[in-house]
Amino acid sequence: MSTPHNSANPGDFAKTVLMPGDPLRAQFIAEQFLTEPRLVNRVRGINGYTGTWKGVPVSVMASGMGMPSIGIYSHELYNFYGVENIIRVGTAGGMSMRCKLRDVVLGIGACTNSNYAAGFGITGHFAPTADYTLLRCAADIAQKNGLHVEVGNLLSSDNFYDDDPHAKDVWQKMGVLAVEMEAAALYMNAARAGKRALAICTISDHLLTGEATDAQTRQTSFCDMMRLALDVAAEMANV
């Protein structure tokens, strides 16, 4: 059975799927890291691949940009393809001096300015959080490998371009580490489906210092994050 946005067959996706925002990143991960990657979806250019990492089946498919996009793809993976774990691997804008350019951030929570939660009939405020097992596993592996990670709150924003240049100041005052555009929807979909999710982000630009990474640096720090996410996926085979 395929879905409106995914032509893969049942069983094509592994238990754990890594989701970068960019389809070309998904292809890069599949070609550089996975053994014998197999193309399982190509609807709308959102190519999905399944291969192995350290002998464990792992899939990678792009999420596209923003909460509606990751909302669609993660819903279908969790509910129609039997996927148990989704690890977002993306970039984020630093909002705290606790994180520097190129740092890797594990999103323990994801605040949001979006109305996505209303789709679940929630009238109060749901707190979208990472799965503790995935989060602990990622923090443990990073420590073992000597990779520095910051763990804290993300902001999943509906707006990349804010009309008000100070729109994000309130989140910064609340100690939010970094802004991206997908984690909160992923965490809510995982909660609703009774599945696991984690967002891992590399700081690609910094809102406080105005710094931004060049393409080469982005690629290198992205690979550190990728190996971390793949090692978490391998570890989850035993959970």
Binding site for ligand HPA (CB under 6 A): 91-93, 157, 160, 179-181, 204-205
140-172: burial string, b at 16+ Cβ within 10 Å, e else: ebbeeeeeebbbbbbbbbeeeeeeeeeebeebb
Selected catalytic residue, list 163, 164, 169, 205: 205
Q: Residue 96 CB, nearest distance to ligand HPA (Å)?
A: 13
| Cβ-based nearer residue to ligand HPA, 37 or 64 | 64
Which residue's CB is nearer to ligand HPA, number 157 or number 221?
157
Residue 52 to residues 68, 96, 100, 187, Cα–Cα distance (Å): 29, 36, 32, 25
Nearest approach in angstroms of CB 93 to ligand HPA is 3
Minimal distance, residue 201 CB to ligand HPA, in Å: 8
Q: Which of 122, 96, 120 is nearest to 175 (CA)?
A: 96
Cβ neighbors of 159 (< 8 A, separation 6 or more) are 113, 167
Q: In the complex, what is the shortest distance from the CB of residue 210 to ligand HPA, in angstroms, rounded to a whole number?
A: 11
**Please, where are the H alpha helices in 159-206?**
169-173, 183-193
205 included as an active-site residue: yes
Question: Taking a C-beta distance cutoff of 8 angstroms, is the pair 52, 58 a contact?
Answer: yes
Q: Which residue is at the shortest CB distance from ligand HPA?
A: 93
Rounded to whole angstroms, the Cα distance separating 227 from 210 reads 28
Q: Which two tokens stand for residue 175?
A: 């100690």
- Smallest separation, CB 205 to ligand HPA (Å): 5
Kindly report the backbone phi and psi dihedral angles of residue 20, in degrees, each rounded to the nearest multiple of 5, phi listed first: -80, 165
Burial of 120 (C-beta count, 10 Å sphere; 0-12/13-18/19+)? exposed
Is the Cβ of residue 14 or residue 99 nearer to ligand HPA in the bound state?
99
The residue among 50 and 91 lying less far from ligand HPA, judged by its C-beta, is 91
Q: Please say which residue, 3 or 211, places its beta carbon nearer to ligand HPA.
A: 211
Cα–Cα dist 178/152, whole Å? 9
Structural tokens at position 76 = 């279908």
Catalytic residue numbers read 205
